[in-house]
Every structure is written in structure tokens, then in C-alpha cells.
Amino acid sequence: MNYLLSGEETDTVITQIHDHLRDLATQMRAQAIPVSKYTIFTQLGKDPKDYPNSGSMAAVQVGLKLLARGKHVKAKDVMSFVVCGSNDGKAESAAKNAYPMDDVLNPESGLLPDIDYYLHKQILPPVERLCAPVSGTNTTLLAECLGLDTSKYRIQGPGTSSSAESEIHPLESQIPDHIRFKDCEPLILLCTACRLRSQFTGLGGSADESEPAPLAKLTNDGFVCPRSDCGRSLRTLALTAQLEAQIRAHTSRYYAAWLVCDEATCGARTRQMSVYGHRCLGPRGLAHGCSGKMRLEYSEKALYNQLLYLQSLFDTDKGVERLGKQGQGEEREKDKVVAENNRERWETCRGVVRGYLDTSGWGWVSMESLFGFAFRAGG
């Protein structure tokens, strides 16, 4: 704020702000700032046990931890806590890793503040709002100065909302699969004999680090359990049943219609749409205190891409083509032979996914609704 009100030239102010943010991020990552500076104070609106969605609320999780220790926590109490560990930007992980200040100050706890969380949630949003009227900077530059991943932030500023809405994006079909399907979940296969879970990410695919299950083993007779002392093969009927069960789980997640606020400092999550439409009602539900908009946590586009991803896993031609791009070798040639031997089995699986894609309205364009006026005018 001192830089903005200094009265100096705009270029000088912007340079000072950027330099200050870089120095601040460097000190935070070097753990050179006292832990007490990371304290967050939040007042509970009701008793911790009365919150229906406490999993993503840090203050409530801290209150529950204190209750488990026999301390008395009630509505209107102010929780002081520090978010620790590494949470990868997930609200549920950040809430679980929120600890009272006494725990963090204990030298034997080994708890350290989650620097990325504070830079992303506590520093960038207010700095962005303060600098919004100033020309010469934007969200992307501010995030870069803080050392954050700039691909997660779109450029915002005066008059950019309308241009962002009218921006021309490439067709989904023209986006490479590794980018289009980067947020899709892998196919999880369950061994019917030993109940071991394994993941399948396609021919030549690598394991998903977010999923602890090992990679599925593919042979000429289909999928077999990767456990050495089991090796039971998975019948086609069991494979299609598990595939369809996971498709229904993704569909149910979409129809659950959870809404989340796009404002970084709010994090509101609900299944109820307010009378204000897409406007966020704020942390207390009073229609003020937040200027964000509610959006679907799992959108129709995400569901459609998930279905396309599952269908691509059983595309033999695409899998063989992917193996050819990864170089020549005896193992690659064996994988191609295995893929061809599973072509008929995989076509059955593709048919299961195709049945759900055919009923999805996301991939269809109603030409009658677009050009029906022309036919009516011509008649």
C-alpha cells in the first residue's frame, strides 16, 4: 500500500512492488520469516461438529482437533492456526494440515508452514485486488514474482473480462491428449482373486503419481494381476463391469452438482444455488464479503473429457501409434503384438464407453437450433 500511495511514477511503483514480492517469496521459502507471522485467525460461526462440510474448512478442523484433546470449543470462538506441509492447492489437504499455533511452535513437531499455500491463498489475492487499477502489471506477473506456476493464473485487469469471454480458444479435438486429459483419472482395475487395485493408463502410458496403485499388467490373454503370487487374469465381463461402474461414479459426481467459489480467498463449497444466480454468498452466506462466482466443481466438460479418455485407453490403433513414437526396441514390438491380440476385447470396452458418449449432449451440435431461422424464412 505504501508503494501505491507514494506518488511516484507508475513504472517506479510497479518495479518496487515486483521487487518486494520477489524478496518476500525468497525469504518465505528460506524459512526466514517467524512462524507467528503465518497465523490465521478465523471465528467459528457455530460449533465445529455442526458443520456439514468440515473437511475443507481449516478453522473447523482445528476446532475438531482441540475437541479431541478435551478442550472446550464452541460457536464464536476464534481459531488461530497455521497451515503446514505440502497440500498441492487442495482445500481438503490444507484443512487437514491446519494446526494450532502451540503445535507449530513445538520444536519436536517438525511442522513448517506451507509456503505455496500462503503465497497462493493469503498474499496473491489481496495484492491482485490492490494492483488491479494500476497499469503495467497483472495477475500473471504478480504470480511470477512470487514464484508460482503462472499457467494457473489468467491475466486480469480493468476491461479484460469482456475480452477474456470473447477470446477464441482452439478446438478441443486439436489439443494434444496429454494436455486435454491431464486432469482425468486413470482406470482402476480390481483383481477378482486377491482384490489388488491396479491402474491402466493406456499403451506406453506412465503411472499416475496421485494414485498409489501399481500399473496393470497386459498380456495376450488380457489383463492379469500384477502381483507375482497371484497372476489371475481378468475376464472381459469383469473388465467391462468395472469400467461401467467407474463411468457411473464419474457421472454421479457430475450430477451431485457441487459448486465452488472461484475466489481464492473464499473457498465456499455448496450444492445449493442462491437466488443471486452464480454470485457467491460469501463465507457467512450474507451475500457480501466475496465478489467471486460459483462454478461447478466437476463440470460437464470434465465429464466428457473423462469419457473420451477412458475410450482412448482401449483404442488399439492409437496405442500402437503411441508406442511407435516412443522409439524402436524389442519390448515395444512385443507390446504392439499384445495390443493386436487384445483388439477384439478392447473393442468391447470401447463400445461400453461409446454408449455413454452417445447419450451425452456435450459432443453434439443442434444444427436446427442454430440455422432453423433460415429454414423458416425460406418457407
CATH number of the domain residue 316 falls in: 1.10.3200.20
Window from 156-160, 174-178, 355-359 with minimum mean pLDDT? 156-160
Q: Are residues 241 and 312 in the same domain?
A: yes
Answer whether residue 236 shows pLDDT above 80. yes
Q: What would the grid cell of residue 78 be?
A: 476464534
Q: How many CB atoms lie within 10 A of CB 215?
A: 16
Q: Are residues 236 and 329 in the same domain?
A: yes
How many helical (H) and strand (E) elements, i.e. helices and strands, does the chain have?
Answer: 15, 10
Q: Are residues 130 and 88 in the same domain?
A: no
| Number of domain units in the chain | 3
Split at pLDDT 50, 70, 90, the class of 270 is: confident
Mean pLDDT, to the nearest integer, of 58-71? 88
Residue 4 resides in a domain = no
Q: What would you report as the CA-atom Rg of the chain, rounded to the nearest whole angstrom?
A: 26
Q: Are residues 205 and 310 in the same domain?
A: yes
Specify the pTM.
0.54
| Confidence (pLDDT) at 195 | 92
User: What SS3 class is residue 82?
Assistant: strand
Q: Are residues 316 and 193 in the same domain?
A: yes
For the four alpha carbons of 335, 336, 340 and 345, in that order, the dihedral sign comes to positive
Q: Are residues 218 and 72 in the same domain?
A: no
| Separation between Cα atoms, residue 24 and residue 30, nearest integer Å | 10
Answer whether residue 218 shows pLDDT above 70. yes
The residue among 166, 162, 129 whose CA lies nearest residue 264 is 129
Find the domain containing 208 and state its range: 177-252+301-358
Residues 119-133 have pLDDT tens digits of 888 888 888 888 877
Share of the chain above pLDDT 90, in %: 18
Q: Are residues 58 and 189 in the same domain?
A: no
| Confidence (pLDDT) at 310 | 93
What does residue 59 show for φ and ψ, rounded to 5 degrees? Answer: -60, -40
| Separation between Cα atoms, residue 334 and residue 131, nearest integer Å | 58
| Separation between Cα atoms, residue 167 and residue 147, nearest integer Å | 27
Residue 279 resides in a domain = no
| Confidence (pLDDT) at 307 | 93
* CB within 8 Å of 281: residues ≥ 6 apart: 268, 274, 287, 290
Residues 291-329 have pLDDT tens digits of 788 889 999 989 999 999 999 999 888 888 777 766 667
Split at pLDDT 50, 70, 90, the class of 225 is: very high
Q: How many CB atoms lie within 10 A of CB 303?
A: 20
Residue 348 resides in a domain = yes
Residue 242 resides in a domain = yes
Residue 164 resides in a domain = no
Residue 287 resides in a domain = no
Residues 160-211 have pLDDT tens digits of 444 444 444 556 666 777 788 888 999 999 999 999 999 998 887 777 777 7
Q: Are residues 345 and 206 in the same domain?
A: yes
As beta bridge partners, residue 219 has: 222
| Confidence (pLDDT) at 126 | 84
Distance between first and last Cα of the chain: 65
Q: Are residues 96 and 41 in the same domain?
A: yes
* CB within 8 Å of 204: residues ≥ 6 apart: 319, 322, 323, 326, 335
